[in-house]
Each structure stands twice: as C-alpha cells, then as structure tokens.
Amino acid sequence: MVNFSKISVAQDARTELHDKLSLTGAEVSINNLPAGASVPFIHSHKNNEEIYVVLAGKGKAVIDGEDVELAAGDWIRISPAGKRQFFAAADSAISFACIQVKENSLEGYTMDDAVV
C-alpha cells in the first residue's frame, strides 16, 4: 500500500490538487496571476476557511472591502464569511497557494496527533 502521493505543479493559472493527490480533508490550489491581473470574481464560503501563502511576487487581497498588501512569505487566514478577491501588483506577478478546510474541524494538531 502506498502512503503518499506526489505531483509536480506547472505554472498554470490555477491547479487544484484535490483529485491529483486524492485529498480527503482539505482542498489545496496553486494560483499564478501575471502582473496586473486579478481573480475575476469576489467570493466567500458557506463552511470553509481559507489559508493562503504567498509563494512569490506581490499583490493584494481585498477582504470585506479592505486592501491587504501581500508579498512572498506572507500567510493569511480568511473566515468563511469574508468576501475576498486577489490581485497581482501592476509591476509583479503573484503566486500563491490556498488551503481550504472546514472551519473549526481541527481536533488535534502537531504533537497531539503525532504517533512516535
């Protein structure tokens, strides 16, 4: 039995990893916006919070009407109800990962869940 999955992700505009890695507890996507581009819609969720990490570049998120500047290395968590949209800076592309999980579903973490 294989206990892991591995893939390589190209620089496509968006790659969803749910099916590619047979994820069962989260959705993960890799997103790449060229300079000056944006996600073409504002969205929120019913149940899932999203955790974003900026992998490269810079830009901003507009969350509930508030501009949040983003740069490589930044992490941000957005509750399900937060209305969000992402933008690359005019002079820089942005690459980010989004991890989507059901809010308040974590029952144990790190050492609480580790088997040594």
Report angle CA 49, 50, 56 to the nearest 5 degrees. 170
**Size (the chain), residues:** 116
Tokens of 62: 């507009």
In the chain, where the domains are located: 14-104
β-pair partners for 3: none
The pLDDT value recorded for residue 100 is 96
Tens digits of per-residue pLDDT, 6-60? 988 888 889 999 999 999 999 999 999 999 999 999 999 999 999 999 999 999 9
Fold annotation for 14-104: Jelly Rolls (2.60.120)
Tens digits of per-residue pLDDT, 52-94? 999 999 999 999 999 999 999 999 999 999 999 999 999 999 9
DSSP 20: T
Residue with tokens 């060229």: 34
